[in-house]
Chains A and B, each alone.
Chain A
Amino acid sequence: MSAYVDQFPAEARIVRAAFWSSFIALGVGGLLGLVQVLHRTDVVRFMSGADYYTVLTLHGVLLAITFTIFFLVGIFTWAITTSLDRGLENLRFTWLWYGLMSVGTVLAAIPILAGFVGSVDMSASVLFTFYAPMQAHPLFYLGLTIFVVGTWLAGADWFRTWLVWKREHPDERIPLPTFMVLTTMLFWYLSSLGVALSILLFLLPWSLGIWEQVNALLTRTLFWYFGHAVVYFWLMPAYMMWYLMLPKISGGKLFSDPLARVVFVLFLILSTPTGIHHQYLDPGIAEGFKFIVMTNTFFLLLPSLLTAFTVVASMEHGARQRGGTGYFGWLKALPWRDPIFTGMALAGLMFAAAGFSGMINAGMNINYLVHNTFWVVGHFHLTVGTAVALTFMAASYWFIPQVTGKRLWNKSVALWQVLLWFVGMTFMSNAMHRAGLLGVPRRTAEPQYAGFEFEAGLGSVAELDAQIALGGTLLFVSVVLFLANVVMTAVGDRIDDLPDNEYADTLSGADDAPLVLDNLKLWTAIAVVLVILAYTLPLLSIIDRGGVFGPGGGAFPMVAESLRLVVVAAVDAGVIG
């Protein structure tokens, strides 16, 4: 055994490239987060309210899409190559998908950034959800499409590597890390199909002037078909880290390989037929459909609750092997001075809290109380903003030395960094949840109204704002410490006494898992059937009510007129369509 960079030097390069792309997005996105939090709470305002939405669009796209997905293609590449013990089949293909993802990001970012420049007739301040009939510049939709195609090819790369391995090892179980990658990619294919259809059939042609109108409810429903499953695309890599890394760092073994497989299978089959729970308060969708989707959503709690048990039991195994005792005393025997452990453990703890606020969101009628309020923002800063982001940062402290061959620059700074994130997020997220209960809206530049005030039962809106501003500032400091640490590590000297590239051993191993768990075709078929059951009737009903292109209404574009005119002229001349 040796470090990853020595085992797979060529693959380590691609993982490094993916990580740096991810960290650049984290740095820019984090800075924009600070700008927003100070603007919203009226601590520092140096831009117009309109610019706030451009900042928010970029913050959302860079952190939710670029930071998370670039990081996860890095660790998925690591997981496939390490657990199959073989390199990728064709590195030129690998660099192709990395290139597509990068080009897509840049193309989508150009019109967003142009929103800041009044003299450029181009903009895409449509936020991460880009709901029609608000219209972005075609480049925005095109960039997103190219990015998603890049991730599809990445999945093909990993599947191909696995298939070649399988031919050589016909009777072996799929190694757990590979199993996790493959199941995650399968539901990613299934769910990203929705947004791809929405963009390619409707939004992109519409932004080019080929369609005159689109159905706002239909494109919104297709977005959420993808929009909820995408959160599991972010979350599954974090789960993977909890299953593969936490037990080992705790000094123990993974409690159960079979249950880890069950969890990933459940996510494969249940993560997509749940998207309508983001539309509980949408007119045009019958209550019955909403109820069915709620049932699916609540059953999706099951794999997360199982994960909580399996991962904590694995940590406890480590703690007891290290001499821990008692009902709760064993917690003291865990390696709390290790930033990798502490970061991931705190991320998991925050995810437990997020589970609660998520249940409220998922509860069909209680959703009236919190829908589109600041509560929701508090919720997803615990999930993607902590369970995922903090896990990724903590994991980086292990991965960066592995893929660069260099020693982590400063372990104490790393420990402070993860603690600071936890404290900052506690302030910010808790106050966001409370503000949401008062009715403070999300996605609003200046939630200070002329005609009324929010009534706080306990404390005051000013106190909540202060906590949010403080928390946001601490989070930004944490991002800076993180980036400083990884950059300083990267510029350091190569060492040759790195720990080996390995992941957790199991107490109950793959041999205990029924063979059917590895039948990916079966689970994919079930997932497809569930999606068809959950979505056919609502989609048909929406189309039946309003037509494929909607009952009417204009576009509300922020688009380059010149490009539009060229396309309109081309359509008229019969060149296109």
Chain B
Amino acid sequence: MTELEREIGHDEYDPIGTLALIAVYSAILVVMWLFMYFVEFLGNDLTVVGVIG
């Protein structure tokens, strides 16, 4: 289907680009999670609390 420049076998292939991309993704996830939880949610009005006994 496409012209391959080289054949890369299992043992010689390290998906370093994937690791880099996925590291960026998880960093974004963590930052956005913290922002959503602590700023958008806990910083919002009228949080439901346990019944005062």
Interface of A toward B, CB cutoff 8 Å = 248-249, 251-252, 255, 308-309, 312-313, 316-324, 326-328, 330-331, 335, 352, 355-356, 359-360, 363, 365-366, 368-369, 437, 499, 507-508
Q: Tell me whether A328 and B20 are in contact (CB under 8 A).
A: yes
Whether A356 touches B32, Cβ cut-off 8 Å, given contacts A320-B8, A369-B44, is yes
For A331, list chain B residues within 8 Å (CB). 17
Q: Tell me whether A251 and B1 are in contact (CB under 8 A).
A: yes
14 CB contacts below 8 A, A to B, read A312-B18, A316-B15, A316-B18, A322-B5, A327-B16, A327-B20, A335-B2, A355-B29, A356-B28, A356-B33, A366-B36, A368-B41, A369-B44, A507-B10
For A255, list chain B residues within 8 Å (CB). 15
A158, chain B: closest CB distance, angstroms: 28
In angstroms, Cα B40 to Cα A249, docked, is 41
Q: Tell me whether B1 and A330 are in contact (CB under 8 A).
A: no
Contact residues of A: prevailing secondary structure? helix
B21 in contact (CB, < 8 A):
yes
Nearest CB in chain A to that of B21: its residue: A312
For A308, list chain B residues within 8 Å (CB). 22, 25
Taken residue by residue from 36 to 53, chain B's Cβ proximity to chain A (1 for < 8 Å, 0 otherwise) reads as 110011001001100000
A244, chain B: closest CB distance, angstroms: 14
Q: Tell me whether A359 and B41 are in contact (CB under 8 A).
A: no
Nearest CB in chain A to that of B36: its residue: A360
The number of chain B residues touching the other chain, given as a range, is 20 to 34
In angstroms, Cα B18 to Cα A249, docked, is 17
Nearest CB in chain A to that of B48: its residue: A368
B4 in contact (CB, < 8 A):
yes
Q: Tell me whether A437 and B40 are in contact (CB under 8 A).
A: yes
Q: Tell me whether B33 and A359 are in contact (CB under 8 A).
A: yes
The number of residue pairs between A and B whose CB atoms lie closer than 8 Å in the complex comes to 80
Which of B2, B10, B18 sits near A309, CB closer than 8 Å?
B18
In angstroms, Cα B29 to Cα A320, docked, is 27
For B37, list chain A residues within 8 Å (CB). 363, 366
For B4, list chain A residues within 8 Å (CB). 251, 321-322
For A368, list chain B residues within 8 Å (CB). 41, 47-48
For A328, list chain B residues within 8 Å (CB). 17, 20-21
Q: Tell me whether B44 and A313 are in contact (CB under 8 A).
A: no
For A363, list chain B residues within 8 Å (CB). 37
For B47, list chain A residues within 8 Å (CB). 368
Nearest CB in chain A to that of B26: its residue: A305
Q: Which 8 A-B pairs have the closest CB atoms?
A: A313-B15, A323-B5, A313-B18, A251-B2, A507-B10, A312-B18, A327-B20, A366-B41
B10, chain A: closest CB distance, angstroms: 4
Nearest CB in chain A to that of B5: its residue: A323
For A330, list chain B residues within 8 Å (CB). 17
In angstroms, Cα B6 to Cα A251, docked, is 10
- Residue with the greatest number of chain A CB neighbours at <10 A, chosen from B3, B7, B36, B48: B36
For A324, list chain B residues within 8 Å (CB). 17
B3, chain A: closest CB distance, angstroms: 8
For B40, list chain A residues within 8 Å (CB). 369, 437
In angstroms, Cα B29 to Cα A355, docked, is 9
In angstroms, Cα B38 to Cα A170, docked, is 56
Whether A321 touches B7, Cβ cut-off 8 Å, given contacts A366-B37, A369-B41, is yes
Q: Tell me whether A312 and B22 are in contact (CB under 8 A).
A: yes
In angstroms, Cα B21 to Cα A313, docked, is 10
In angstroms, Cα B22 to Cα A23, docked, is 34
Nearest CB in chain B to that of A301: its residue: B29
For A359, list chain B residues within 8 Å (CB). 29, 33
For B41, list chain A residues within 8 Å (CB). 365-366, 368-369
Q: Tell me whether B5 and A321 are in contact (CB under 8 A).
A: yes
In angstroms, Cα B46 to Cα A95, docked, is 56
A379, chain B: closest CB distance, angstroms: 13
In angstroms, Cα B8 to Cα A318, docked, is 9
Q: Tell me whether B16 and A321 are in contact (CB under 8 A).
A: no
For B7, list chain A residues within 8 Å (CB). 321
Whether A320 touches B33, Cβ cut-off 8 Å, given contacts A251-B1, A312-B22, is no
Q: Tell me whether A309 and B22 are in contact (CB under 8 A).
A: yes
For A321, list chain B residues within 8 Å (CB). 4-8
Q: Tell me whether B13 and A317 are in contact (CB under 8 A).
A: yes
In angstroms, Cα B7 to Cα A320, docked, is 9
In angstroms, Cα B15 to Cα A366, docked, is 35
For B8, list chain A residues within 8 Å (CB). 252, 317, 320-321
In angstroms, Cα B5 to Cα A320, docked, is 9
Q: Tell me whether B17 and A316 are in contact (CB under 8 A).
A: yes
In angstroms, Cα B27 to Cα A559, docked, is 52
In angstroms, Cα B44 to Cα A368, docked, is 11
Which of B1, B3, B48 sits near A248, CB closer than 8 Å?
B1
- Residue with the greatest number of chain A CB neighbours at <10 A, chosen from B9, B10, B18: B18
In angstroms, Cα B20 to Cα A321, docked, is 18
In angstroms, Cα B6 to Cα A318, docked, is 10
